[in-house]
Structure 1
Amino acid sequence: MRKLKLVMVGNGMAGVRTLEELQKIAPDLYDITVFGAEPHPNYNRILLSPVLAGEMTIQDIILNDLQWYADNDINLHLGARVGEIDRRNRSVIATSASGETITVDYDRLLLATGSTPFVLPIPGNDLPGVISYRDIKDTDEMIDAAARYKHAVVIGAGLLGLEAANGLALRGMDVTVVHLSDWIMERQLDRTAGKMLQAALEAKGMKFKLNAHTAELVKGESGRVCAIRFKDGSSLPADLVCMAAGIRPNVALAEQAGIHCNRGIVVNDTLQTYDPRVYAVGECANHRGTAYGLVAPLFEQAKVCANHLAEMGIGRYQGSVTSTKLKVTGIDVFSAGDFSGAEGTEDIVLHDPGLGIYKRIVLKDDKLVGAVLYGDTKDGAWYFQLLKDEQNIHDIRDHLVFGNAHLGDVGHKGNSVAATMPDSAEVCGCNGVCKGTIVKAIKEHGLFSLEDVRKHTKASSSCGSCTGLVEQILASTVGGAYQPADSNNKAVCGCTDLSHGDVRKAIRDHKLLSVADTQQYLRWKTPNGCATCRPALNYYCISTWPHEAIDDPQSRFINERAHANIQKDGTYSVVPRMWGGLTTPTELRAIADAAEKYKVPTVKVTGGQRIDLLGVQKEDLPAMWADFARAGMASGHAYGKSLRTVKTCVGAEHCRFGTQRSMDLGVKLEKMLFGMWSPHKVKLAVSGCPRNCAESGIKDIGVIGVDSGYELYIGGNGGIKTEVAQFFCKVADDEEVMEYGGAFIQLYREEGFYLERTCHYLERVGMEHIKQHVLENAERRKELHEKLLFALQNYKDPWAERFEDASGGALRREFEIIKV
């Protein structure tokens, strides 16, 4: 059966989101070709501001890398500009980045051409140094200019202009924002909120020139812009001028093809244009007289458009009721509805300049019709729901401005915003997730954390503005079982005010090679630290600077460094290492001899397929370790913040169902990782087939053999709260398992906080972050794997030389002085 041909012009967020939705419901219906004018794959345009500010890189904001297009059999042309649509012959003619002509036929055409920045029609608008702020190229030009020039002027005080000004200021430029209105962000804020925001930004060093009419941009001696001149005759120096004065739907290509346009490409409720074979989504589309510029409506359009491209024909886009919840250079603002105060409306206002809080609620006929919040926006979703549902607020009017939580005084005691929202209320506008969907997922899947909800519903996984509300829903649904995410800024312990991230960065940036050096450089409050911080500092040193840092065995408890664990009766447990769970008669004999020699009362097989000798007396430990060392058996790191075990099934070596040699791979992995210290314990398992007898699905790294290779899973554990590992990738052979798995472990070693399990690390940084480093960047993956191997090469147990004394006397003397 011949596949239909789908061509998409534009490679931005709305268009690619449509393809993602299409791939979910009809992955085999189309041969897909995408033309993108930029040389980059799909990226998050919303995050250009953090890139400009130096907080993120271009790679950090890529949403779909080149591998994604390849994996989905999408023919991608980057740097290609479509110049003509031949509707009669149903073809698209483009020019490639190298200048070649490309002609592609289509059965369906999707226009996702986005918008173009509005450039003021004034003299000098084409001078070098005059740029818009719309894409990666613009961002790169501003970063380059900030390194070479001093004075910047941003024309336009909307969100984009303010973010551009903030980024340039953070890069050291003297920035002035020029705006036509008499307050900033007048489309999102009223005058009072706008003035409060301006004052806050001025306190950060930003300058403003309002009610300013730009007359021309002045050319300097170098040919570059040097100043901006206004109609009143005044001027400002300007080495860089950024125009952020608005956007316009990009309709040039559609107009050339004779497709009806009117302030956008006109579409109906199925996102079809007047030509039913041609669809349009995103900022280029005009639906019922509105062209949307916010991401949430664009994603709603994408879902409906994909439904019709998939020939299901059951979706309708009927427009979006929008609200604006933003964080402008770290300051929270919210607005919704008609907050201008039209005839017949009433205002309820709470204004506390000292606390930086402003709330204005606009009412008409006992219904909320608009709201503006500054500084405290936590009730924004509740106000927005009241507005959308046109609820009568007569009974709660006296308490309305104080927020939903305050309604306890009028018979709603203890209710949060989330608790009183109806199930139909939309929580995540970006992904169209309502409260009922979240609550259902929490109850059906036993979810307890924000990351759990993100995995199952996508709520809070895009812009993040609904995160607080999602957390409220979690808390109100599961009560005390709710697990809020740990703050990255939490101090390591009472000995310092610095977080784990701060400490690790200092050790890396200043090459601190010992616990003492680190405490001295970071001005530790206590002279020797404590049992919480010393092991953490020691781990960060030895993992950051392998073979150079001074290891401090006393920084780790005896049960971790000497491989024994104290039991409740005061005796100890020793677990000799058995590679991959395999053993030999000689090793078994050594274990039996030790058990008899030291009168061990209990011998048990552990959950990790090892033999545990329980009930060992403290004074016998050194000699027992020495005996095992002479037999060639390390005594396991069984209780360390390190590699524990690699559990295996019998695999293809023996099992009639086995597809891969799991025992052989388990031994390879355990030997590769032997001697590895990590933020927390690390357990692996290798199952030779999908029957998963080794329980790979609840390990930090789980490997499951399939006919064509292996599936890798990460971030599982079998603790108090069992965490099922998440699917990571599929690989072809043992070598790739070791490379991909090793790269993930090294990334965890470099970025994980001490005592943070892989599941919590994964929750904190996100699966996409790990995939970017390990799956999507082959060079980075190999670098991580090689760094791990380097750290572990020529590993020698720090206690090994003590074992050379047959009686264990040397080890016994050191052991006695270490506090257990």
Structure 2
Amino acid sequence: MHIAIIGNGISGVTTARFLRKQSDHEITLISGETDYFFSRTALMYIYMGHMRFSDTQPYQPYFWKKNRINLKKGYVESIDFTKQTLQFKDGENMPYDKLVLALGSTPNKFGWPGQDLEGVGGLYSYQDLENMESHSEGLQHAVIVGGGLIGIEMAEMFHSRHIPVTFLVREKSYWNNVLPAEESEMINRHIKKSGIDLRLETELKEIIDDGRGRAAAVITNTGERIDCGYVGLTAGVSPNIAFLKNTDLEVGRGILVNENLETNLPNVYAVGDCAQLREARPGRRPIEAIWYTGRMMGEVAAYNICGKPTAYDPGIWFNSAKFVDIEYQVYGDVPADIPEDMATLYWEHEDGEKAVRINYDAHDGHIRGFNLMGVRYRHEVCEKWLAQKTNVEEVLQNLGLANFDPEFYDQYETELVKAYNQKSGKQLTLKKRRGLAQALAFLKS
């Protein structure tokens, strides 16, 4: 049996690896982007000089031949699902017995005049990075459009080379559709303190052509002209499925799949950013363009292809990022707007660049979420408390178990317990300081 996988990102590669672990089927991994799989989240570090491109490749070139995973570089232009054949841009055809669509995402464009000029680009593919690089020498000013995680990454990249950056965010506060108000305001302050020109409640209206097909400036919704030699479009991403929309494959915003990641067509699966669950788990979104969910989907698809029925379960939500110098972690349920059935404990350090938020049930007190800014907690410890619905007071008394590295990082559990006591009128006390040994014992219990 020949299994073709379109896309060599984390979802496609994980599918291939787990197929090989469980079978001797012929596997072909297809991509027009790069010869080998690389860590997409490390693109910014290549530009900033922290890593070489080769350093972002988790596997040596010999890995693929050793594991009998065929690599095919090329762009699939269309798919004949009836004949089970892929048509490549260069005219070549490839038959398959089973197909895995791991097509990833593409940066959003909203029909802005000038959006296709030279010197305009996103930050998703390796080609996007090359585009940034080719326009960086001598660049006097960059404008970035869109207030999400990719936008702040691109801003930091240009800033690392001392290229002035103006950051256009249409919302009243940075990423306030995800972050609660206090955390969002913290990042506003930090972006400005870092020397990035943050413009809130400001939208792109038009990108101006310099007369030679290159970006020369932007016009905002207020009528202001900002001269620039590069415009970064980072207003989110969408599933990369445009070439599939007039086929028999059922699509919504993404490719519609069931819990086994099967599409409506026989022998066709979809995983990662391009997959849209017909029925998402409670509290989760139908499309989640996150590295770890892509990896999990790849593993699940491999099991199902190999005749081991397995339902996709993303588990407890988590994510991490970096806002210039502030690290961010979230575990569980931390909505931007706290609902009535949820209570929240928020503590912020006097330096204004560290904060911990602990959400818990307003009725019975069980833990529901952690939001961490500039402070690290152990993933496994937080996940266990969330899975077991541990009471917030027990969590607070044992908060030292979550410290990522108490030998080298400051600890703030005393301040959090004090804040909770002030809020609740209780007199909780911390249990003795907890280190790695205690944390490991807790996880085994």
Scaled by the length of structure 2, the TM-score of the pair is: 0.85
CA spacing shift, 1:9–1:401, aligned 2, 3 Å: same
Q: Distance in 1 between matches of 2:380 and 2:188?
A: 25
- Partner of residue 48 from structure 2, selected from 49, 53, 57: 53
Paired residues for 1:60-209 under 5 Å: 60-78=55-73, 80-95=74-89, 99=90, 101-209=91-199
Contact 1:190–1:372 (CA under 8 A) maintained in structure 2: no
CA spacing shift, 1:404–1:67, aligned 2, 3 Å: closer
1:391 equivalent in alignment to 2:390: yes
Q: Distance in 1 between matches of 2:326 and 2:396?
A: 28
Number of the residue aligned with 1:230? 220
- Partner of residue 344 from structure 2, selected from 338, 342, 347: 347
Contact 2:321–2:328 (CA under 8 A) maintained in structure 1: yes
Q: Distance in 1 between matches of 2:153 and 2:255?
A: 29
Q: Please state whether the residue corresponding to 2:245 is helix, strand or coil.
A: helix
- Partner of residue 249 from structure 2, selected from 259, 262, 267: 259
Q: Please state whether the residue corresponding to 1:146 is helix, strand or coil.
A: coil
CA offsets 1:57-106 (integer angstroms, 9 cap, x no match): 2111123454333333333221x1212221222211112xxx3x111111
1:42 equivalent in alignment to 2:40: no
Q: Please state whether the residue corresponding to 2:135 is helix, strand or coil.
A: helix
Number of the residue aligned with 2:310? 315
Paired residues for 1:463-502 under 5 Å: none
CA spacing shift, 1:400–1:220, aligned 2, 3 Å: farther
- Partner of residue 434 from structure 2, selected from 415, 423, 436: 415
Q: Distance in 2 between matches of 1:388 and 1:189?
A: 22
1:357 equivalent in alignment to 2:343: no
What's the % identity of the aligned pairs?
24
CA offsets 1:286-316 (integer angstroms, 9 cap, x no match): 12241121111111111111112223x1422
Contact 1:54–1:167 (CA under 8 A) maintained in structure 2: no
Q: Please state whether the residue corresponding to 2:152 is helix, strand or coil.
A: helix
Structure with greater helix share of residues: 1
Number of the residue aligned with 1:476? none
Q: Please state whether the residue corresponding to 1:147 is helix, strand or coil.
A: coil
Q: Please state whether the residue corresponding to 2:147 is helix, strand or coil.
A: coil
Number of the residue aligned with 2:420? none
Q: Distance in 2 between matches of 1:309 and 1:383?
A: 33
Q: Distance in 1 between matches of 2:437 and 2:200?
A: 40
Shift of 1:248: 0.6
CA spacing shift, 1:187–1:372, aligned 2, 3 Å: farther
Shift of 1:412: 4.0
One-letter amino acid of the counterpart of residue 184, structure 1: Y
Contact 2:397–2:431 (CA under 8 A) maintained in structure 1: no
Number of the residue aligned with 2:294? 298
CA spacing shift, 1:143–1:210, aligned 2, 3 Å: same
Number of the residue aligned with 1:579? none
Shift of 1:351: 1.7
Bigger CA radius of gyration: 1
Unaligned runs of 5+ in 2: 281-285, 404-412, 418-427
Contact 1:404–1:417 (CA under 8 A) maintained in structure 2: no
Q: Distance in 2 between matches of 1:156 and 1:380?
A: 29
CA offsets 1:255-294 (integer angstroms, 9 cap, x no match): 3431111221111222211123111111111122411211
One-letter amino acid of the counterpart of residue 10, structure 2: M
CA offsets 1:553-597 (integer angstroms, 9 cap, x no match): xxxxxxxxxxxxxxxxxxxxxxxxxxxxxxxxxxxxxxxxxxxxx
Q: Distance in 2 between matches of 1:84 and 1:139?
A: 26
One-letter amino acid of the counterpart of residue 286, structure 1: Q
Number of the residue aligned with 2:407? none
CA offsets 1:318-371 (integer angstroms, 9 cap, x no match): 334311222333321122313321123322121223263212222222122333
CA spacing shift, 1:254–1:219, aligned 2, 3 Å: closer
Q: Distance in 2 between matches of 1:236 and 1:353?
A: 36
Q: Count residues with an aligned counterpart.
A: 414
Q: Distance in 2 between matches of 1:41 and 1:357?
A: 38
Number of the residue aligned with 1:449? none
Q: Please state whether the residue corresponding to 2:288 is helix, strand or coil.
A: coil
Shift of 1:420: 5.3
One-letter amino acid of the counterpart of residue 19, structure 2: L
CA spacing shift, 1:307–1:171, aligned 2, 3 Å: same
Contact 2:13–2:29 (CA under 8 A) maintained in structure 1: no
Q: Distance in 2 between matches of 1:123 and 1:266?
A: 32
Q: Distance in 2 between matches of 1:268 and 1:130?
A: 37
Shift of 1:397: 7.2
Number of the residue aligned with 1:6? 3
CA offsets 1:741-793 (integer angstroms, 9 cap, x no match): xxxxxxxxxxxxxxxxxxxxxxxxxxxxxxxxxxxxxxxxxxxxxxxxxxxxx
CA spacing shift, 1:88–1:214, aligned 2, 3 Å: same
CA spacing shift, 1:12–1:125, aligned 2, 3 Å: same
One-letter amino acid of the counterpart of residue 246, structure 1: G
Structure with greater strand share of residues: 2
- Partner of residue 285 from structure 1, selected from 262, 275, 279: 275
Contact 1:119–1:132 (CA under 8 A) maintained in structure 2: no
CA spacing shift, 1:122–1:74, aligned 2, 3 Å: same
Q: Distance in 2 between matches of 1:351 and 1:402?
A: 18
Shift of 1:188: 4.2
Q: Distance in 2 between matches of 1:49 and 1:63?
A: 16
Number of the residue aligned with 1:276? 266
Q: Distance in 2 between matches of 1:34 and 1:404?
A: 40
Shift of 1:202: 2.5
Q: Distance in 1 between matches of 2:319 and 2:217?
A: 34
Number of the residue aligned with 1:722? none
Contact 2:191–2:198 (CA under 8 A) maintained in structure 1: no
Alpha carbon RMSD of aligned pairs, Å? 2.6
Q: Distance in 2 between matches of 1:417 and 1:195?
A: 33
Contact 1:150–1:172 (CA under 8 A) maintained in structure 2: no
One-letter amino acid of the counterpart of residue 169, structure 2: H
Unaligned runs of 5+ in 1: 424-434, 440-820
Q: Distance in 2 between matches of 1:189 and 1:267?
A: 29
Paired residues for 1:427-446 under 5 Å: 436=444
Contact 1:359–1:401 (CA under 8 A) maintained in structure 2: no
Shift of 1:165: 0.8
Shift of 1:15: 0.3
Contact 1:348–1:361 (CA under 8 A) maintained in structure 2: yes
One-letter amino acid of the counterpart of residue 52, structure 1: Y
CA spacing shift, 1:188–1:422, aligned 2, 3 Å: farther
CA spacing shift, 1:350–1:249, aligned 2, 3 Å: same
Q: Distance in 1 between matches of 2:191 and 2:374?
A: 13
